[in-house]
Structure 1
Amino acid sequence: MRAATSPPHLVTLILLTGNSVLTLNMFLPSLPHMAEDFDVSYGLMSIAVGGYLLMTAVTQLVIGSLSDRYGRRPVILSGLAIFIAASVVCALTENFAVFIAARLGQSASATGMVLSRAIIRDQFDDRESAAKMATVAMIMAIAPMLGPTIGGVMDAVFGWRASFVFYALCGVAVFALCWVDLGETHYRRSTTFGAQFREYPELFRSRRFWGYAICASFSVATFHIFVSGAPLVVATAFGMGPAELGLYMGTITLGFIIGSGISSRVSRFYQLSTMMIAGRLVAVTGLGLASLAIYAGHISVPLFFGAMILSGMGNGMTAPNANAGVMSIRPHIAGSASGLSSAMIVFVGALTTTLTGALVDEVTGTFTLTLIMTLAGVIGLVAALSVRAIDLREGRALGV
């Protein structure tokens, strides 16, 4: 196969991102069987989830910098090769320690999510980048909905190792696709890591960068809060069983798909901060009104899950624009900016889910959950408004 020399098609970036998402959640239904097979407790087996998330955060920081120095293509191909090898080890090993080590190695799949955004930013301006990222996000959002279902079926038919065989096969397929359809897009590389690192202080001192990054982090955090608290809250408040709960859990993803669809169509016509504020207002309004209604004693399935649809919709409008903004500060180190922002999203997600677990209970859980989500949405809104204020102030200074 001839190596690609032209920029990738959007479908290649979608599959790269989707592969990263599937690696996180497809095997989750198999955790009890995996714990049995390795003869460890369920809590210890859960390291395969929590440890992977932490390792992903570290990986995202590293791969962003590497891609700015050496280019997007070699880092993505190397990451996929590591992911394939780690998946094969996970599928074959009988040793728990070896499995966990290989599972952490699977975090190399994060190259797809981080660098797909950087590749888009390499080719397009801020607004067009946001529209393209929204298209990727809209289609990619199907992966977390289908992943656990596919993994559960494969576990039932073939056993839990089938998921990791599937990962390896997906990795090989995506590697082959990237080989023929992912030419290099980053040409303004720094000559040395020292020269590259000297650019970082300017990035870190940028209030606009932190506004974009905080907005993105706390927007995504509302999803993490919902996923961590909803199973307890919904089962208690509405008496739903696992099957019905699984159906309703998809409402926030449905909202995200709708919001991403809106962004993909209109982001190119508006400033990034305008779309971010609009998305945050949709989410905060839906969640805030639901919180007030629940506090007043009005609890219902349409009210609760209607608010979740609006929350997801707001995220879909906010996230692509915030991500495009993060990489607009210093475009030639877009990979580093994307990696830092992605790592921040993971850390904020870990913090907010821990907080949710500590505060949500069976008595006041419905109100507490919607309130925490509202507060996260408000933090994101304040960050978006701060970016807007900087835009207006700099616009006046330039006479725009």
Structure 2
Amino acid sequence: MTRRMPAWVAPAALIAVAAAEGALTALTEISETTPVDVAVTVLAVLALVVRDRWPLPAFAATLPAAVLPGAIVPAIVALYSVSARYRSWWLLTGCGLLAAGSLAFPLSDVSETFWTTDVLLGLIYMTMTALAPILLGQFLHTQRELALRLEEVKQAREHERRMDAQAILTQERNQLAREMHDVVSHQVSLIAVQAGALQVSTRDPAAKDASENIRKLSVNTLDELRHMVNLLRASGTPATELAPQPTLTDLERLVEGSAIDARLVGSAPSTVEPAAQRAIYRTVQEALTNVRKHAPGASAVVDISHDDTDLTVTVTNTPPTRPALALPSARHGLVGLHERAALLDGKVHTGPTPDGGFQLRLQLPLHPVSS
């Protein structure tokens, strides 16, 4: 892996080159060097330190060094900084003419015939010397702008890709919602209708109670299905938050409508966050469903307790009193409870009790509701 050069190395190298040029200029013409020459050279080198922050003042501070002792490196570096910062060609042309004019002073001392015999060559040299840092600065300026544009294009394409994926997901959710509504609701509606008919026609009290429970459970299932279909159709849109979600206030109704001998003990604090309330509701719902399916005739206790840091929900059922019926199951219920609890930094523990029953315990950390 190639290591990148630290950002301070290049500026420090340029300042060192400018300082070396100033020192060599003074040593070459030591007999003609004055304190003013030394002062303007030092000022020009120090101006390069702040050229990124104040490019125009730094450029102006380097011009005396180019005129008097003939130190041209600071002026060239400062002119590059001006070009890298600004886009105005009027400003850059003016700075370039100032730099070219400043460079002409030391060159005019090379030969007395410079302005008569080599005027064209001198003009070309001065122009190219001043034009080079301007063009380099503009090139790097354009490169930075191009990099920003490419990053914007990349972000736009990524946003478009996410929107396409969201559109596909929304289409799949709508299709799933239609399937659930057309197939599941039809079957459950038939169960509710037949249970209601059985309740009216039968004279057996036990059968009448059973049919009433079946009808209530079917109605509740249709209501839950309607909420789920609405949630699927609204997913990915602002309407998602409008979909009704169960809270702890619905637990009592859930326990009473479970069609088993169940009771609710204890209560949760009012500061439980909404996500935790939904997790508790779904956990109790899954536990009571499993009691109905796998422990017919058993009773259950839903116990809610908490301390300063944790909230614990325990659902314990007694052993079944009659054989369980073979019902279809995807065996994803407990896995889903573990995943839901893990998202809230909680844990789910399940296992048999010593008397032959079963226990499910959900433990969640308490977090106050954000206002």
User: Normalized against structure 1, the TM-score is what?
Assistant: 0.21
Larger fraction in strand: 2
The structure that has the greater radius of gyration is 2
TM-score, structure 2 normalization: 0.22
Higher RCO, 1 vs 2 (CA within 8 Å, ≥6 residues apart): 1
